[in-house]
Amino acid sequence: MTTRMFGAPVQRREDARLLTGGGRYLDDLGHDALAAAFVRSPHAHARVLDVDVTDALDVEGLVAVYTWEDLPERVRDPLPLLIPHPSLVAPRTGYALARGEVNHVGEPVVMVVATDRYVAEDVAERIAVTYEVLPPVVGVAAAREAVHLVHEEAAGNVGAHLVQGYGDAGAAIDAAPHVLELDLDVERSACVPLEGKGVYAVWDTDEQSLRLWSSTQTTTGVRAAVAAKLGLPLAKVECTAPDVGGGFGVKIMHPWPEEVLVPWAARLLERPVKWTEDRREHFVSSAHERQQLQHVRVGFDDEGRVLGLDVRLWHDHGAYIPYGVIVPINSSTQLLGPYKPGAYRVEFWSLYTNTVIVTPYRGAGRPQGVFAMERTMDAIADHLGLDRADVRAANFIQPEEMPYDFGLTFQDGRPLVYDSGDFPASLRKLKDLVGWDGFEEQRARARAEGRRVGIALACYVEGTGPGPYEGGHVHVETSGRVNVSTGLTSQGQGHQTILAQIVADELGVPFEDVHVTTGDTRRFGYSVGTFASRGAVMSGSAVALAARRVRAKALRIAGDALEADPGDLEVVDGVVRVKGNPGASMPLGTVAVLSNPLRYAFDDTARAATQFAAGGRGPDEPPVAPGEEPGLEGRDYHSPLRSTFANGMHAAVVETDPETAEIRVLRYCVVHDCGTMVNPMIVEGQILGGVAQGVGGALYERMHYDESGQLLNASFMDFLMPYATEVPPVETDHLETPSPLNPLGIKGAGEAGVIPAAALFASAIEDAEGFRISRMPISPSELFHLRERFAAGEVPALRRGGPAGAAPATPATPATPAPSDEGA
Amino acid sequence: MKVTGTAVLHAPVERVWSALNDPAVLVRTIPGCERLEEVGPDRYRMTVTAGVASIKGSYVGEVALTEQQRPGSFVLRASGSGAPGTVSADVLVRLEEAPEGTHLAYDADAVVGGPVGGVGQRVLTGVARKTAGEFFRAVDDVLAGGAQEGAAEPAAAVPAARPAPEDGPLPAPPAAPGPAVHVPPPPPPAAAGGQQPFVLGALVGAGAALLGALVGGLVARRR
Which value, to the nearest 10 degrees, does the dihedral of the CA atoms of residues A437, A438, A439, A445 take? 160
DSSP string, B141-208: HHHHTT-S-GGGS-GGGS-TTSPPPSSSPPPPPPPPSBTTEE-PPPPPHHHHH---S-SHHHHHHHHS
Q: Are A40 and A285 in contact (CB under 8 A)?
A: yes
Q: Where are the domains of chain B?
A: 2-145
- B164 vs A760, more confident: A760
Q: From first to last of the 223 residues of chain B, give the pLDDT tens digit.
A: 788 889 999 999 999 988 888 888 888 887 677 888 888 888 888 887 654 434 456 778 888 888 988 889 989 888 888 766 777 888 899 999 999 999 999 998 888 777 677 788 888 788 777 777 877 888 888 888 754 443 333 333 333 333 333 443 433 444 444 446 777 665 443 333 333 333 333 333 433 334 444 444 443 333 2
Q: Do B54 and A60 touch (CB under 8 A)?
A: no
Q: Range(s) for CATH 3.30.365.10 in chain A?
A: 363-466+641-792, 470-614+629-638
What amino acid is encoded at A506 in this protein?
A: E
Band the pLDDT of A558: cuts 50, 70, 90: very high
Statement: residue A819 has pLDDT above 70: no
Chain A residues touching residue B129 (CB < 8 angstroms): 54
- B34 vs A115, more confident: A115
Judged by average pLDDT, the poorest of A70-84, A363-377, A628-642, B195-209 is: B195-209
Tens digits of residue pLDDT in A681-699? 999 999 999 999 999 999 9
User: What is the pLDDT at residue B89?
Assistant: 83
Band the pLDDT of A479: cuts 50, 70, 90: very high
Taking the CA atoms of chain B, what radius of gyration do you get in angstroms? 16
User: What is the pLDDT at residue B136?
Assistant: 85
Statement: residue A775 has pLDDT above 50: yes
Chain A residues touching residue B115 (CB < 8 angstroms): 268-270
Rounded CA-CA distance A753/A684 in Å is 9
Structurally, at CATH architecture level, domain B2-145 sits in 2-Layer Sandwich (3.30)
Name residues whose C-beta falls within 8 Å of residue B146's C-beta, 6 or more positions apart in sequence.
none
Angstrom CA distances, A43 to A48, A104, A319, A367, A711, stand at: 10, 6, 12, 30, 10
Question: Residue A383: is it exposed, middle or buried by C-beta count within 10 angstroms (0-12/13-18/19+)?
Answer: buried
| A674 alpha-carbon distance from chain centroid | 15
Going A772 to A774 to A776 to A781, the CA torsion angle's sign is negative
Q: Are B45 and B174 in contact (CB under 8 A)?
A: no
Q: Which residues pair with A682 in a beta bridge?
A: none
Residue of A61, A69, A270 with shortest CB distance to B53: A61
DSSP string, A625-652: PTT--SSEEEEEEE--SS-EEEEEEEEE
Q: Do B119 and A63 touch (CB under 8 A)?
A: yes
Chain B residues touching residue A205 (CB < 8 angstroms): none
Domain A470-614+629-638, CATH 3.40.30.10 — does that match? no
CA distance A68 to chain B (A): 10
Q: Are A549 and A488 in contact (CB under 8 A)?
A: no
- B169 vs A400, more confident: A400
Residue of A34, A64, A69 with shortest CB distance to B123: A64
Q: Searching chain B, which residue's CA lies closest to the CA of residue A268?
A: B118
User: What is the pLDDT at residue A195?
Assistant: 97
Going B162 to B163 to B165 to B171, the CA torsion angle's sign is positive
**Mean pLDDT across the stretch A588-598?**
91
**68-107 of A, contacting B, C-beta below 8 A:** 69-70
Phi, psi (5° rounding) for residue A718?
Answer: -115, -20
User: What is the pLDDT at residue A581?
Assistant: 87
A514-518 and A663-673 as β-strands: parallel, antiparallel, unpaired? unpaired
Statement: residue A417 has pLDDT above 60: yes
A415-418 and A404-409 as β-strands: parallel, antiparallel, unpaired? antiparallel
The complex's ipTM? Answer: 0.70
Going A418 to A424 to A429 to A430, the CA torsion angle's sign is positive
Judged by average pLDDT, the poorest of A91-105, A516-530, A583-597, B190-204 is: B190-204
What amino acid is encoded at A60 in this protein?
A: E
The beta strand positions in A31-157, using DSSP E, are: 34-40, 46-52, 62-66, 101-102, 108-114, 128-133
Closest CA to A52 of B126, B220, B121: B126
Residue A225: strand, helix, or coil:
helix
Which DSSP helix (H) or strand (E) runs through A16?
A: helix A15-19
Rounded CA-CA distance A361/A591 in Å is 46
* Best of B52, B123, B221 to mutate (most A CBs within 10 Å, chain A): B123
Phi, psi (5° rounding) for residue A582?
Answer: -60, -15
The number of residues in chain A equals 824
User: What is the pLDDT at residue B44?
Assistant: 87
pTM: 0.87
User: What is the pLDDT at residue B191?
Assistant: 34
Ordered alpha helix ranges (H), A109-256: 117-126, 140-145, 169-174, 219-230
First to last CA, chain A: 67
A474 CB-side CA count, 13 A: 33
Structurally, at CATH architecture level, domain A18-134+197-276 sits in Alpha-Beta Complex (3.90)
Judged by average pLDDT, the poorest of A362-371, A649-658, A679-688, A793-802 is: A793-802
B182 touches A: beta carbon within 8 Å: no
Rounded CA-CA distance A561/A777 in Å is 66
**Mean pLDDT across the stretch A347-353?**
98
Closest CA to A803 of A775, A776, A766, A778: A766
What share of chain A has pLDDT > 90, as a percent? 89
Q: Do A64 and B53 touch (CB under 8 A)?
A: no
Name residues whose C-beta falls within 8 Å of residue A381's C-beta, 6 or more positions apart in sequence.
A304, A387, A388, A390, A391
First to last CA, chain B: 25
Judged by average pLDDT, the poorest of A95-104, A321-330, B87-96 is: B87-96
Which value, to the nearest 10 degrees, does the dihedral of the CA atoms of residues A387, A389, A394, A395 take? 130
Phi, psi (5° rounding) for residue A333?
Answer: -95, -40
Residue of B121, B127, B194 with shortest CB distance to A57: B127
- Taking CB atoms and an 8 Å cut-off, how many pairs form between chains A and B? 62
User: What is the pLDDT at residue A2?
Assistant: 54
Closest CA to A434 of A184, A688, A651: A651
Residue A370: strand, helix, or coil:
helix
Residue A463: strand, helix, or coil:
strand
User: What is the pLDDT at residue B49?
Assistant: 65
Tens digits of residue pLDDT in A422-453? 999 999 999 999 999 999 999 999 999 999 99
Q: Do A58 and B223 touch (CB under 8 A)?
A: yes
DSSP string, A768-810: HHSB---EES--HHHHHHHHHHHHTT-SPBPTT--STT-S-SS
B121 touches A: beta carbon within 8 Å: yes
Structurally, at CATH architecture level, domain A363-466+641-792 sits in 2-Layer Sandwich (3.30)
Rounded CA-CA distance A300/A329 in Å is 25
Rounded CA-CA distance A342/A303 in Å is 14
Tens digits of residue pLDDT in A142-158? 999 999 999 999 999 99
Q: Are B198 and B116 in contact (CB under 8 A)?
A: yes
